[in-house]
Structure formats: structure tokens, C-alpha cells
Amino acid sequence: MRIWYQSGTAMGFDPRWKNYEEDLKNYVQKVARPGTKVDVHGVEKIAPRLIDSDYIYFLHIPQVIENALQAEREGYDAFCFGGALDVGHVYLREVLDIPVAFIAESSFYNACLLARKFTIIGINEGILRRQMELVKFHGLEERCVPGVHLGSSLLELVELFGENPQRVIDMFTEAARKVIAQGAGAIVPGYGALGAFFGQRGVRDIDGVPIVDIIAALIKTTEMLVDLKNLGVKRSRIGFYTYTSKEELIAARKLYGVE
């Protein structure tokens, strides 16, 4: 099985993501089953105000979609997105015929298997706000207690992985104890880099409350979807996810100048 793992960061294009890239590439192969090959890719462009602007967010999505279509053309068995905002969720489920999985969605449902109530520890207020909107989108608001954030930026945290990894664990632990006191029985790290960081170092819980392994949840969900497809079970094309044939899709892409 071949899986295209799409990071939401500029790893492979910007050396500042190196600490995350090394953790992620090592860890995805640890959690994948024997015989599964996971190829990790980054995105070329990330605008500075991506989180704050819906329009910039809209401009960001096409590069993810193009990479997903490339994965399908190259014969990958599945595409998974490791950005914690599940960028392009609706579009990718429509345009791809191969299975597609998302890290936030996979982690939320995994958290529901581990505890009655879960929460998210985000990186900063803006990202956490969008992640709490994702909880509502997936219909899990009643299963989630209000999240908290670390007051950091994505790159600041990645740099801290190399400079002071214990500080990262301490920051997360302090935040986790706040939400545990509010009734959280499982904790979702709101950042793929945190998932890879904790996974590589074997950090699995805070005071007995499990940390959802968001990287493993994504890879295992992806593998499961491929297994189900091989059994003849495919995602629905009726209802929320409409379907455009490949011929119609290509015609539209030519009309709009993207192919």
C-alpha cells in the first residue's frame, strides 16, 4: 500500500521545518503496518495571515488539491492530509476516487473511542478557534469540552523541539491539566508536529489521561479506508458529497484554466 501524506507545512521547501520533517518521516513508518509505504510531502506556499483570513485560506487550498490529484495520477492507494485544519475537506472528498483521510477528523473520532469527552490543545487562539469549528462541522460538539492553546506559533514550537524539548512537554502538560479539570478524558494535540514529537518520544498521557496519537490515527484510518475499498466498500456519493465525473472535472478544470 502506498500513501501520499500531505503536510500542511512547507517541509521540503523551507529548512525551518526540518525538526518536524525528521520526526514525521521517521514516525509515519513506525506506525504504518508492514508493507505500507508513506511518502511525506509539504506545500510550497504558506501566506503569513493564512489562519486569520478566509480569503487567504481559500487561496491556499488549490495547492493541496493539485497535490492530491497528482497522488491519484501517480497510482497512490490513498491520500491523507496532516494539516490540523483539514484543509479542502469537502473538495478532496469530491474530486478523488482514491480514499482520503484527514488528521483532525480521524483524531476526533479516535478520541471518542478513548473517552466520553475529549478536548483540543491548540497552538494559538486563531488556530484553536478554527479547530473548534471543525468539531461542530463533524457533529461532535457534545463530545468536546472547550479547548485551550499554548500561545505559540507553528514555527516557534518547531524550533523549540530542537532547542528545549522538555519545555514543549511542560507547556503541554500545564495546558492539559486545565482541560482535564474541566472533564476532558482524552486530549487531541492541535498540531501535526506535536503528534510526531510526542510519538517519537513515547509521550502517551498526562496524569493518566491519554494523548490521542494523531499521526497514528491518521495513518490507521487511511489504511482502513483502503482495506474497505478493497472489500468493495466505498464512501457515499449521495447526499453531502456530490460527485462530478472525471470527464466533467477535467472539462471544468480546462474551462477555469487550471489544466
65-110 pLDDT, tens digit each: 999 999 999 999 999 999 999 999 988 988 899 999 999 999 999 9
The H-assigned helical ranges of the chain are: 18-31, 54-73, 89-95, 103-114, 125-137, 154-163, 165-180, 192-201, 214-230, 246-255
* Angle, vertex CA 108, rays to CA 191 and CA 94, nearest 5: 90
Rounded distance, CA 123 to CA 3, Å?
27
pLDDT at 241 over 60: no
Show Cβ contacts of residue 253 under 8 Å, excluding neighbours closer than 6 positions. 259
Of 101, 82, 187, 84, the residue nearest 144 (C-alpha): 187
What confidence score (pLDDT) does residue 245 get?
77
| The residue type at 69 | L
28-52 pLDDT, tens digit each: 999 999 999 999 999 998 888 888 8
pLDDT at 246 over 80: no
Instruction: List 149's β-bridge partners, or say none.
Output: 122
Rounded distance, CA 235 to CA 249, Å?
19
Of 117, 157, 153, the residue nearest 135 (C-alpha): 117
Domain boundaries, the chain: 2-221
Q: What is the pTM of this model?
A: 0.93
**Residue 45: other Cβ atoms inside 10 A:** 11
**Residue 224: other Cβ atoms inside 10 A:** 14
Q: Which helix (H) or strand (E) holds 101?
A: strand 100-102
216-225 pLDDT, tens digit each: 999 999 999 9
Burial category of 35 from C-beta neighbours within 10 Å (exposed 0-12, middle 13-18, buried 19 and up): exposed
Residue pair 188/108 in contact (Cβ under 8 Å)? The answer is: yes
Per-residue exposure over 106-132, b if at least 16 CB sit within 10 Å of its own CB, e if not? bbbbbbbebbebbbbbbbbeebbebbb
Instruction: List 118's β-bridge partners, or say none.
Output: 144, 186
CA dist 214 to 56, 69, 110, 147, 167, Å?
A: 26, 24, 8, 16, 21
Window from 84-98, 142-156, 243-257 with minimum mean pLDDT: 243-257
SS3 of 240, please? Answer: coil
pLDDT at 242 over 90: no
Q: What is the mean pLDDT of the chain?
A: 92
CATH number assigned to the domain with residue range 2-221, chosen from the 4 options 3.40.720.10, 3.40.50.12500, 3.40.190.10, 3.40.50.150? 3.40.50.12500
